[in-house]
Amino acid sequence: MSTVYDFTVKDMQGNDVSLSEYQGKVLLIVNTATGCGFTPHYDPLEAMYKEYKDSGFEILDFPCNQFANQAPGTEDEIHEFCTLKFGTEFPQFAKIDVNGENADPLFAYLATEKPFTGFGKGLKNAALKKFADMNNKAFGDKAYIKWNFTKFLVDREGKVIGRFEPTVDMKEVKDAVAEELAK
């Protein structure tokens, strides 16, 4: 059985990074965008990172421009935006595709381990689903991720144990991280 430690990704400079470097840590892997309505998630993500990083927690940030072109900048521009506007200190990687033929294998794996189950109830969530469905139609059965700021929780053994759509309250995400860190 695979774990996230079997994957290699690119850092912002294009260098290979084996996720085995994070072995033994609780991970939150996130696809992000700087121009999305969910971009304010960077604030609670950074707060969570600061609170838990010394307890064996890492957030791995993967910018993606596949959702209504909401991350059009270069890696440097995106990094500068995140550090200046939100003070992010967690690792940010090269911009990737999370859907389609060129989807990063890590995200195809994450989504296979924890498939999409919906955005939740309510008018706002229904509207996002409709918009996401239109956006992701081009990816067919390779529409692994439905929108920006989808978060995957990975335990210390590298197994995917949770998926949080961008509509999930960040308190719920934080509670799940804290629970996993306490094990």
The amino acid at residue 162 is G
* Cα gap 44→27, rounded to integer Å: 15
Q: Torsion over CA of 59, 64, 70 and 74, rounded to 10 degrees? A: 90
Is 36 labeled as catalytic in the residue annotation?
yes
Cα angle, residue 106 at apex, residues 60 and 183 outer, rounded to 5°:
55
Residue 17 parent element (H or E): strand 16-18
**Taken in order 43, 45, 48, 49, is the CA torsion positive or negative?**
negative
The amino acid at residue 18 is S
Strand order in the sheet with 57-63: 57-63, 26-32, 151-154, 160-164
| C-alpha radius of gyration, the chain, whole number | 15
Q: How many CB atoms lie within 10 A of CB 10?
A: 16
Structure tokens at 160: 């995917």
Q: Which of 36, 48, 60, 143 is catalytic?
A: 36
Q: Which residues are catalytic?
A: 36
